[in-house]
Amino acid sequence: MSKLRFHALKEVFKHKPIHIEENVRRSEIFGANVFNESIMRQYLTKEAYESVMSAVSKGSKIERSVADHISTGMKEWAISKGATHYTHWFQPLTGATAEKHDAFFETIGNGLAIEKFGGGQLVQQEPDASSFPNGGIRNTFEARGYTAWDPTSPAFVYGTTLCIPTVFVSYTGEALDYKTPLLRALQAVDTAAVAVCKYFDKNVKKVNASLGWEQEYFLIDSGLAMSRPDITLTGRTLLGHSPAKGQQLDDHYFGTIPNRAMAYMRDLETECMLLGIPVKTRHNEVAPNQFELAPIYEEANLAVDHNSLLMDVMDKVAERHNFKVLFHEKPFAGVNGSGKHNNWSLSTDTGVNLLSPGKTPMSNLQFLTFFINTIKAVYDNEELLRAAIASASNDHRLGANEAPPAIISVFIGEQLTRTLNELENVTNGKLSPQEKTDLKLNVVGKIPDVLLDNTDRNRTSPFAFTGNKFEFRAVGSTANCANPMTVLNTIVAKQLIDFKAEVDTLVSKKDMKKDDAIFNVLREYIKKSKHILFEGNGYGEAWEKEAKKRGLSNNKTTPEALKAKVSKKAIQLFEEMNVMNKIESEARYEIEVEEYVLRIQIEGRVLGDIARNHVVPTAVRYQNILIDNVKGLKDIYGTSFKKLAKEQLNLIEQISNHIEGINSNVTKMIEERKKANAIDDLEKKANAYCHIVKPLFEDIRYHCDKLELLVDDELWPLTKYRELLFTK
Ligand code: ADP
Ligand code: MG
């Protein structure tokens, strides 16, 4: 083993699990660092408290004078928690979270100082964040973005900073972040769903979208991770031969969590508890050193914030434990990558989960309504949904030979398939009483029991119904959930509006009963959107062919997939639902295409560097050893040396071939990069990176990985897969 790798590995053994003192109940510390309802009651005047609560539930405006009271209370509480600074915490389109800390501390002359935090500072800030990607929305002369308080996500203290969740908008009001369109989409689905709920229950006043994400990640010793320039700079390994043992034995999945990882998780969970992130589940994943963490689901906006915050906290806690968290969708070739399932549902303020089959005929019809409308929404917007999860890193899962495929389909299980089939065949027009009873009771009534053993079987589906929620499984592990959640809630909102219009028309124009009208519209929806339903193996080639016949899209790469974001239909949809205007849609598209280019560009540079400056020199050094050996054999044995040196000569030649393979391909890649960089049109540039530059990575990697197998282990400078994946 090389000295470099040896030292890195030796360090690992110094990294013993950190002992975590834990004699408090989790429920006692839950939310201790959050400015939540009960804390607000304590620290705010009655008027201020009610004002925040009404802003949360009804979206009403908070008066400036009241804001001053709130900020004062918030400051007092934060200081009692050890905070010295405050920040507007937001999610710019870089995907990370952003913060700029300001001290409460202010001087008041005569050498005196006080702690101050006014309503103005709470409500709005101008962070001068002109370097965040904005897709050309903010011109330089108005290079100002504003952050504005989002009272629906509570403030929290992290470390010594009071963090205030905010939206980030331009001077002219366009969204520059993930949160703004999400809040608008949640508003849209709330309004649309409440209107439909009124068919079933007049008391419903609010519908909340819920989200329960499941975060997958790898934990790698930080010393080992640091020894790999590719991991440090791109979050994944760009080369590395697969180890003799991978995940084929399935001995990691749900196995005992290694001690060090366990200590990390416990520490992380404590931090999450303090921050009010309701983490609940932890387990090993399929790949070695891969894990998953999942919370109890929450209202979607809060859940999105909590996932962003969690990713941050995971990084920070990992530092204490000498770990590096890899969030990348595919950190290692040949072993499973990571995703972030988004479990989604809609529920009413009367306590009903609209995607949970009910016990009464009426609630079952309500369930069917929301269930079928969601399927229709996904069918009509499958390309847009695919676009919502497109990224350079997620391309390694979708459309590669890994779960789930790039084709969006919906899995609903056998029982519900049968229900939909029966519904499809009901009479056109008015239903017989028998039909109605059958549908509402006999068929649907069976669902809850049968579903239990029926739902989660199909792991290959990108969008699966799992008993009382849909699970969007194609979301990438690095993604900000706001993006897919914005799209999903927007398309469902639009669908529900259309549905209501159709039902109302049948009732008023055709004199149909409400029930009959609902059944009739749903029946038509099933007929129209049947093509999106798929229960088979999503990974097979057969499905690709079948999906093509059905007219479903199969956009395997990000540049292809993203286009759906700026289709006429998508722009209209977002405008109509008041989620994004045309400028905002186009800006986001531009940002994402550009990000794709930059990511591939960086990977290309890093790979070129490692191949030329690490791998080739190492191979030459080893080849020289072999050459010396051959020369020695010749000195000793004279002309008969050839027989003895046969393998060495063969190796020398192989090494030369691989060196040639690396150098010619790196040269080619650099040339193609230059050509691509010279292209002005962003879309064409992305295509060049995708279809010309990126494929060369594979060729370069092939030769590097072959050399890894040939070259003396003692010389090889890069930490190997087996060391990265199996060191505990
Ligand atoms: P899995 O087999 O995928 O692990 P689980 O039943 O453990 O399934 O649930 C996974 C996630 O689904 C959890 O994060 C949970 O909070 C979330 N979930 C459960 N019910 C809902 C719901 N109504 N809305 C959104 N998410 C939900
Ligand atoms: Mg899941």
Q: Tell the burial category of 214 from Cβ atoms under 10 Å away from its Cβ (0-12, 13-18, 19+).
A: buried
- Quick one: 507 and 621 in the same domain? no
Residue 49 domain-assigned (yes or no): yes
Whether ligand 1 lies within 6 angstroms of the CB of 455 is answered as no
Q: What's the whole-number mean pLDDT along residues 546-550?
A: 95
| Most confident stretch, 219-228, 401-410, 443-452 | 219-228
pLDDT at 599: 97
- Quick one: 570 and 606 in the same domain? no
CATH value at residue 173 = 3.10.20.70
Atom of ligand 1 nearest to the CA of 211: 25
Residue 511 domain-assigned (yes or no): yes
Quote the mean pLDDT of the chain.
89
Q: What's the whole-number mean pLDDT along residues 206-222?
A: 96
- Quick one: 256 and 295 in the same domain? yes
pLDDT at 726: 81
What band does 452 get if pLDDT is binned at 50, 70 and 90? very low
Residue 25 domain-assigned (yes or no): no
Which residue's CA is the closest to the ligand 1 atom numbered 6? Answer: 466
Distance 284 CA to ligand 2 centre (A): 13
What band does 225 get if pLDDT is binned at 50, 70 and 90? very high
Single residue among 177, 201, 216 that ends a domain in this structure = 177
Q: What is the residue whose two structure tokens read 């009534």?
A: 445
Residue 441 domain-assigned (yes or no): yes
Residue 107 has pLDDT above 90, yes or no: no
Encoded tokens for 723: 């060391």
- Quick one: 296 and 373 in the same domain? yes
pLDDT digits (tens, 9 = 90+) for 571-596: 999 999 999 999 999 999 999 999 99
- Quick one: 254 and 307 in the same domain? yes
Distance 379 CA to ligand 1 centre (A): 23
Residue 250 has pLDDT above 80, yes or no: no
pLDDT at 249: 61
Residue 126 has pLDDT above 80, yes or no: no
Whether ligand 1 lies within 6 angstroms of the CB of 282 is answered as no
pLDDT at 186: 97
pLDDT at 431: 74
Whether ligand 1 lies within 6 angstroms of the CB of 340 is answered as no
Single residue among 526, 552, 580 that ends a domain in this structure = 580
Distance 698 CA to ligand 1 centre (A): 37
d(CA 685, CA 705): 29
- Quick one: 412 and 326 in the same domain? yes
pLDDT digits (tens, 9 = 90+) for 411-447: 998 888 888 888 888 777 777 777 777 666 655 555 5
C-beta of residue 267 within 8 angstroms of C-beta of residue 321: yes
Q: How far is the CA of 177 from the CAs of 98, 388, 585, 678, in angstroms? A: 10, 15, 12, 29
Q: What's the whole-number mean pLDDT along residues 660-676?
A: 98
Encoded tokens for 603: 């990977």
pLDDT digits (tens, 9 = 90+) for 7-38: 777 777 677 676 666 677 778 889 999 999 99
What band does 370 get if pLDDT is binned at 50, 70 and 90? very high
Distance 91 CA to ligand 2 centre (A): 25
| Most confident stretch, 133-142, 238-247, 278-287, 347-356 | 347-356
CATH value at residue 634 = 1.20.120.1560
Q: What's the whole-number mean pLDDT along residues 178-204?
A: 96
Residue 172 domain-assigned (yes or no): yes
Encoded tokens for 428: 């056109």
Q: What's the whole-number mean pLDDT along residues 635-639?
A: 92
- Quick one: 154 and 287 in the same domain? no
- Number of domains within the chain: 3
d(CA 715, CA 1): 7
What band does 130 get if pLDDT is binned at 50, 70 and 90? low
Domain that residue 485 falls in: 186-231+248-580
d(CA 137, CA 530): 40
Residue 718 has pLDDT above 70, yes or no: yes
C-beta of residue 319 within 8 angstroms of C-beta of residue 169: no
Q: What's the whole-number mean pLDDT along residues 288-304?
A: 94
pLDDT above 70 coverage of the chain, percent: 91
Per DSSP, the three-state class of 130 is coil
pLDDT at 325: 97
- Quick one: 547 and 496 in the same domain? yes
- Quick one: 148 and 193 in the same domain? no
Q: Which of 227, 222, 218, 334 is nearest to 1 (CA)?
A: 227
| Residue 267 amino acid letter | D
- Quick one: 167 and 195 in the same domain? no
Residue 502 domain-assigned (yes or no): yes
Atom of ligand 1 nearest to the CA of 356: 23
pTM listed for this prediction: 0.94
- Quick one: 173 and 200 in the same domain? no
Distance 339 CA to ligand 1 centre (A): 15
Per DSSP, the three-state class of 701 is helix
Residue 15 domain-assigned (yes or no): no
CATH value at residue 225 = 3.30.590.10
What band does 57 get if pLDDT is binned at 50, 70 and 90? confident
Which residue's CA is the closest to the ligand 1 atom numbered 17? Answer: 212
d(CA 121, CA 78): 15
Residue 16 domain-assigned (yes or no): no
Residue 450 has pLDDT above 50, yes or no: no
- Quick one: 293 and 371 in the same domain? yes
pLDDT above 90 coverage of the chain, percent: 66
